[in-house]
């Protein structure tokens, strides 16, 4: 005889102890928030996450009017967010914080079956990895990971309703599971709208969740995913199939990698990435014995796949012992998702990319350790939570402390004392925070001098001082000058793309009214194709068609001996020469 009642496990509400555990992690998330809201931001990455959604609101199309290497989902949702709350760095960073908090709490929900201690350990590890990687920049990757983890959690909940005993005894189960599978599929589809490259993680994760279920359950999940993925049809029509496919699949895979990849494994005694070398200019003390920072990154590179293999192995072991065991299915599913995310860490082996994958794998490691202890021959179940918490302490305090605990504690200290490492550049109510005290005043003065001279609708091109080399860009300047139209589709500048033979950059320079060329990235040096110089035509256009009207030096107290950081050029009137003193 079947019933329509819910099973006992589904009726349990979180205890006050569980709520306290969640509160502890929430406090850990909030502790560095004040600093992170005003902290330095990555000039290109945060710049384009401010500019791209605003350009969509202005009618521009990704892959057509500006280079975009991922799916449209994050731009659509941020455009809607900016429509509601205005375009500002605070709005963007609050959205970024929500994405990171979603990653942490979704992982805690997956770890909850192992008890509160393990859940807290997992949550704190998640905080250390997410809040220290690249600040609160609202990147598409963070949103995609949060959605994929959410899809896994909901899918596993559906699976729990579909045990043979549950379906036989409870008529409510099948309907409940069906609705949850639809939601799981929709969340996964949304994640793929953000980042199509999470397809491997989604495929492995859903296979681990649904394997062994009936065909109708797979179809139900696919309907949920298809409903969201159908929005790609609109995107293909909007941007054009050729442009969209090139921007989302061909350029990221075939054009981007040569200029962005780093040695695998990372170097033991030095950072290979240019931006990480900049971080060494502001070293922070660490009281405990630890390897040098590059050596920690080297260890991390091997630790991540080892942890992934361990989690998958524990999941397989547990499933073979007890195929219907709920926790075994959770471990195996999360392990497969982590396996699918690994290429993101390997393709550019710096600590930011390692953290973007570790926020799943290393965050779940305490649960896998606890399960391993319980499965082992001695079966000392009470040891599991203690060892799980010890693993978090070991990793964050001695193995990779410079990229987790040290950075986190520095941010908390800044939040408390108000001495935040970020130098504001403000123009007409908009602010961006740079990480160099000598460059921010130069940018500020430049905007105050030339912003009023730039008429609404003028075309502005922001690029490197030598346009043969385009490793990075000061994209935040487009955000600070919203009354101007970007003069290039290369708002995000990547080596081997913006400066490639046959790119549109020379023509875009020629059609611009103003140029801001930056010397900030002159010293960029990575062991990849970013060293390769492109054609000189864009520089020739600058010399032939523009007049240098302003130079702004780093404020280091040396006067004219200080290096020039920014050069401002204005289009030369047709047939005219540059005024005396300009060139």
Q: Which residues of 144-155 are buried (b: 16+ CB within 10 A; e: fewer)?
A: bbbbbbbbbbbb
Which of 378, 411, 444 finishes a domain? 411
Contacts of 86 (CB under 8 A, 6+ apart): none
Q: 314 with 461, same domain?
A: no
Lowest mean pLDDT among 87-91, 255-259, 450-454: 255-259
Residue 320 burial (CB count, 10 A): 9
* pLDDT at residue 107 tops 70: yes
* Tens-place pLDDT, residues 515-528: 999 999 999 999 99
| pLDDT of the residue at 166 | 58
DSSP run (H or E) holding 423: strand 423-427
Q: 121 with 215, same domain?
A: yes
Contacts of 384 (CB under 8 A, 6+ apart): 114, 118, 369, 370, 371, 373, 374
Rg (CA), the chain: 26
| pLDDT of the residue at 168 | 56
Sorting pLDDT into bands at 50, 70 and 90, what band is 358? very high
Query: What is the C-alpha to C-alpha distance for residues 421 and 428, in angstroms, rounded to an integer?
Result: 22
Q: 377 with 521, same domain?
A: no
Q: 58 with 183, same domain?
A: yes
Q: 114 with 176, same domain?
A: yes
Is 531 within the bounds of a domain? yes
| pLDDT of the residue at 378 | 64
| pLDDT of the residue at 283 | 79
Q: Which residue has the tokens 């139209």?
A: 485
Q: 330 with 465, same domain?
A: no
Sorting pLDDT into bands at 50, 70 and 90, what band is 280? low
Is 244 within the bounds of a domain? yes
Instruction: State pTM to two decimals.
Output: 0.95
DSSP secondary structure code for residue 66 in this structure: B
* pLDDT at residue 392 tops 80: yes
DSSP secondary structure code for residue 83 in this structure: H
Total domains in the chain come to 2
What mean pLDDT value characterizes the chain? 93
User: What average pLDDT does this structure show over 264-272?
Assistant: 94
Please list the residues that pair with 514 across neighbouring strands: 460, 570
Q: 403 with 459, same domain?
A: no
Q: 225 with 371, same domain?
A: yes
Q: 376 with 254, same domain?
A: yes
Which of 356, 376, 411 finishes a domain? 411
Number of H helices, E strands in the chain: 24, 7
User: What is the percentage of the chain residues whose pLDDT exceeds 90?
Assistant: 81
Query: What is the C-alpha to C-alpha distance for residues 536 and 534, in angstroms, rounded to an integer?
Result: 7
Is 404 within the bounds of a domain? yes
Is 476 within the bounds of a domain? yes
Is 420 within the bounds of a domain? no
Length of the chain, in residues: 583
Is 85 within the bounds of a domain? yes
Is 276 within the bounds of a domain? no
* Tens-place pLDDT, residues 529-579: 999 999 999 999 999 999 999 999 999 988 889 999 999 999 998 878 888
Domain residues for 499?
435-571
Pair type for strands 485-486 and 459-464: parallel
User: What average pLDDT does this structure show over 242-269?
Assistant: 91
User: What average pLDDT does this structure show over 90-109?
Assistant: 98
| pLDDT of the residue at 4 | 54
Sorting pLDDT into bands at 50, 70 and 90, what band is 7? low
Q: 52 with 180, same domain?
A: yes
Is 418 within the bounds of a domain? no
Of residues 382 and 47, the one with the higher pLDDT is: 47
* Tens-place pLDDT, residues 50-94: 999 999 999 999 999 999 999 999 999 999 999 999 999 999 999
Pair type for strands 459-464 and 514-518: parallel
Q: Which residue has the tokens 């394997």?
A: 211
Query: What is the C-alpha to C-alpha distance for residues 106 and 150, in angstroms, rounded to an integer?
Result: 6
* pLDDT at residue 10 tops 60: no
* Tens-place pLDDT, residues 21-31: 999 999 999 99
* Tens-place pLDDT, residues 150-175: 999 999 999 988 876 555 556 677 88
Pair type for strands 514-518 and 546-553: unpaired
Sorting pLDDT into bands at 50, 70 and 90, what band is 6? low
Sorting pLDDT into bands at 50, 70 and 90, what band is 1? very low
| pLDDT of the residue at 377 | 72
User: What average pLDDT does this structure show over 281-301?
Assistant: 91
Half-sphere exposure of 286 (CA within 13 A, CB side): 21
Q: 167 with 220, same domain?
A: yes
Of residues 497 and 559, the one with the higher pLDDT is: 497
Please list the residues that pair with 424 across neighbouring strands: 433
* pLDDT at residue 407 tops 50: yes
Lowest mean pLDDT among 13-17, 350-354, 359-363, 429-433: 13-17
User: Which parts of 13-139 fold into alpha helices (H)?
Assistant: 16-30, 33-38, 45-57, 73-85, 89-111, 116-130
Closest CA to 9 of 106, 108, 112: 112
CA dist 564 to 419, 444, 500, 580, Å?
A: 28, 14, 26, 20
* pLDDT at residue 3 tops 70: no
* Tens-place pLDDT, residues 200-226: 999 999 999 999 899 999 999 999 999
User: What tokens does 255 get?
Assistant: 């054009």
Whether cis (ω within 30° of 0) applies to the bond prior to 265 is: yes
Q: 80 with 172, same domain?
A: yes
Rounded to 10°, the helix 89-111/140-160 angle is: 30
Residue 223 burial (CB count, 10 A): 14
């Amino acid at each position: 005889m079947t019933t329509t009642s819910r099973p006992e496990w589904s009726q349990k509400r979180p205890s006050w102890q569980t709520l306290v555990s969640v509160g502890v992690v929430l406090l850990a998330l909030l502790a560095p928030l004040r600093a992170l809201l005003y902290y330095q931001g990555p000039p290109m990455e945060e710049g384009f996450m401010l500019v791209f959604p605003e350009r969509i609101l202005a009618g521009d199309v990704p892959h057509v009017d500006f280079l975009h290497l991922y799916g449209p989902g994050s731009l659509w949702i941020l455009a809607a967010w900016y429509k509601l709350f205005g375009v500002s760095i605070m709005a963007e960073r609050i959205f970024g914080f929500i994405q990171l908090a979603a990653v942490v709490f979704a992982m805690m929900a997956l770890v909850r079956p192992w008890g509160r201690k393990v859940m807290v350990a997992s949550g704190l590890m998640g905080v250390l990895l997410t809040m220290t990687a690249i600040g609160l920049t609202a990147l598409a990757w963070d949103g995609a990971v949060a959605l994929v983890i959410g899809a896994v959690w909901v899918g596993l909940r559906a699976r729990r309703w579909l045990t043979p005993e549950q379906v036989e005894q409870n008529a409510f189960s099948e309907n409940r599971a069906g609705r949850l599978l639809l939601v799981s599929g929709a969340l996964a589809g949304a994640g793929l709208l953000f980042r199509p490259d999470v397809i491997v993680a989604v495929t492995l994760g859903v296979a681990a969740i649904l394997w062994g279920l009936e065909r109708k359950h797979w179809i139900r999940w696919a309907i949920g995913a298809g409903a969201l993925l159908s929005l790609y049809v609109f995107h293909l029509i909007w941007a054009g199939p050729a442009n969209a496919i090139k921007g989302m699949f061909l350029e990221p895979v075939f054009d981007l990698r040569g200029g962005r990849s780093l040695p695998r494994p990372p170097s033991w005694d030095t950072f290979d990435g240019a931006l990480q070398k900049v971080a060494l200019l502001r070293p922070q003390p660490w009281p405990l014995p630890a390897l040098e920072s590059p050596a920690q990154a080297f260890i991390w590179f091997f630790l991540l796949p080892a942890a992934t293999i361990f989690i998958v192995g524990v999941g397989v072991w547990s499933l073979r012992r007890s195929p219907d065991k709920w926790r075994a299915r959770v471990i195996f599913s999360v392990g497969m998702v982590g396996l699918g995310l690994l290429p993101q860490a390997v393709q550019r082996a710096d600590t930011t990319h390692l953290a973007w994958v570790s926020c799943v794998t290393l965050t779940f490691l305490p649960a896998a350790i606890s399960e391993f202890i319980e499965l082992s021959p001695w079966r000392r179940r009470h040891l599991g939570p203690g060892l799980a918490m010890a693993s978090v302490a070991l990793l964050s305090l001695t193995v990779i402390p410079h990229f987790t605990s040290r950075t986190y504690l520095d941010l908390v200290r800044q939040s408390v004392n108000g001495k935040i490492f970020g130098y504001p550049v403000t123009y007409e109510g908009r602010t961006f925070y740079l990480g160099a005290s000598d460059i921010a005043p130069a940018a500020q003065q430049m905007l105050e001098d030339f912003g009023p001279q730039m008429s609404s609708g003028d075309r502005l091109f922001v690029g490197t001082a030598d346009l043969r080399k385009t490793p990075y860009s000061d994209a935040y300047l487009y955000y600070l000058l919203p009354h101007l139209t970007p003069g290039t589709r290369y708002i995000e500048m990547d080596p081997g793309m913006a400066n490639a033979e046959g790119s549109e950059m020379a023509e875009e320079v020629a059609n611009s009214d103003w140029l801001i060329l930056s010397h900030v990235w002159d010293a960029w040096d990575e062991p990849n194709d970013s060293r390769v110089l492109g054609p000189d035509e864009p520089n020739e256009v600058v010399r032939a068609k523009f007049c240098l009207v302003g130079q702004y030096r780093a404020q280091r107290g040396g006067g004219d001996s200080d290096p020039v950081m920014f050069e401002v050029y204005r289009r030369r009137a047709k047939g005219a020469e540059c005024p005396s003193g300009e060139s």
